[in-house]
């Protein structure tokens, strides 16, 4: 049997498509059209000679062979990237100025710093942890090279990595008192996570009051865990003594998770830091936060997956766009 050499670019497209949950989002990251990505996945399926995708309603999912291919693709790309990083590591130096939102301080930030330092020990990192608005002002002014934050999707520097569902969060002992305004623990404004919650309560005609505000996420979690009030936030690094709750409250939308690069950024060390940050975010969300069914690709079906449809019947397409807040956390 003659073995084939798989295209690394196709394997990376497969991984990115799965991590981002759709051809549309992958096309933004890979700077290709969704149809080009669809064609690339069709060619990959033809190269391996087994079906990698299957239809489930309007969704395109991975088959069992597709799940196996995805695991191997991650391993192959990890070795490829490790080889390049190792060869380049001794030659990169200088300073990279990075900014992380407070939501990532105990989750993604340690992962990124540890990996980057192991690969590029001669590069000095200058880390700023602050609220999103401050970080985005700093990347706009050129004071930061790379920023990871919630919100800010409307900025020209933004690259959308994912959209996270917002949840109502409270202490397990928190109870709603009838005929009294709902007590809220709030992050100091502006905050993209709390604005949708306040707007939802206003639309529902639900009275509320500010029980406390905090400029730090640590202070906010302390208030919530103490039962002072509930808050609206993405499920990033929740303390063990708080939980998501329903309590008959109005549902919340999603919030964009974005990475920003300073305009005109060309320094190889900063560019590589941004790439490693993207990889760490995907790994963290895949392992701890992803609520999507395994293998989900996109609600829209590529034309090459429509072979089983009755001739002449058009493919159903989803026109719904994801909800998100365009604010800054």
Mean of all residue pLDDT scores within the chain: 84
State the distance between the two ends of the chain, measured CA to CA, in whole angstroms.
Answer: 55
Highest average pLDDT, of 3-7, 41-45, 173-177, comes from 41-45
Q: How far apart are CA 206 and CA 175, in angstroms?
A: 15
pLDDT, one tens digit per residue, over 30-67 is 888 888 998 999 999 999 999 998 888 777 789 999 99
Q: How far apart are CA 140 and CA 307, in angstroms?
A: 48
Which H/E stretch holds residue 142? Answer: none
Domains in the chain, start-ordered, CATH in brackets? 8-86+292-305 (1.10.10.10), 92-162+256-289 (3.40.190.10), 164-255 (3.40.190.10)
In the prediction, which pLDDT does 293 show?
Answer: 42
For the ranges 59-68, 141-150, 189-198, 282-291, which has the lowest average pLDDT?
Answer: 282-291
Determine the average pLDDT of the residues in 196-208: 92
Q: How far apart are CA 4 and CA 309, in angstroms?
A: 31
pLDDT, one tens digit per residue, over 61-74 is 899 999 999 999 99
Determine the average pLDDT of the residues in 155-180: 91
Beta-strand relationship, 243-245 and 254-261: unpaired
């Amino acid at each position: 049997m003659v073995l084939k050499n798989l295209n690394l670019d196709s394997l990376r497209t497969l991984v990115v498509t799965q991590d981002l949950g759709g051809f549309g989002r992958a096309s933004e990251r890979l700077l290709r059209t969704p149809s080009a990505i669809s064609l690339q996945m069709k060619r990959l399926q033809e190269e391996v000679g087994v079906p990698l995708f299957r239809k489930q309603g309007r969704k395109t999912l991975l088959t069992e062979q597709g799940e196996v291919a995805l695991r191997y693709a991650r391993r192959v790309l990890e070795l490829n990237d490790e080889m390049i990083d190792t060869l380049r590591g001794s030659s990169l130096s200088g300073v990279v100025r990075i900014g992380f939102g407070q939501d990532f301080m105990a989750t993604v930030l340690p992962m990124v710093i540890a990996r980057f330092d192991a690969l590029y020990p001669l590069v000095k990192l200058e880390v700023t942890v602050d609220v999103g608005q401050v970080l985005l002002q700093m990347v706009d002014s050129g004071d930061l090279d790379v920023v990871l934050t919630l919100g800010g999707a409307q900025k020209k520097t933004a690259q959308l990595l994912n959209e996270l569902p917002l949840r109502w969060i409270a202490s397990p002992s928190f109870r709603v008192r009838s005929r009294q305004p709902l007590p809220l623990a709030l992050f100091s404004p502006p905050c993209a996570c709390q604005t949708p919650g306040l707007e939802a309560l206003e639309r529902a005609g639900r009275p509320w009051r500010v029980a406390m505000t905090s400029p730090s996420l640590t202070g906010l979690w302390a208030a919530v865990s103490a039962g002072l009030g509930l808050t609206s936030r993405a499920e990033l690094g929740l303390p063990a003594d708080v939980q998501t709750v329903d309590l008959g409250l109005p549902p919340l939308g999603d919030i964009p998770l974005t990475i920003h690069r300073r305009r005109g950024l060309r320094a190889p060390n900063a560019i590589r830091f941004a790439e490693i940050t993207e990889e760490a975010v995907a790994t963290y969300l895949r392992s701890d936060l992803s609520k999507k069914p395994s293998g989900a690709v996109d609600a829209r079906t590529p034309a090459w997956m429509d072979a089983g449809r009755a001739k002449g019947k058009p493919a159903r397409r989803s026109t719904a766009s994801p909800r998100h807040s365009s604010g800054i956390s």
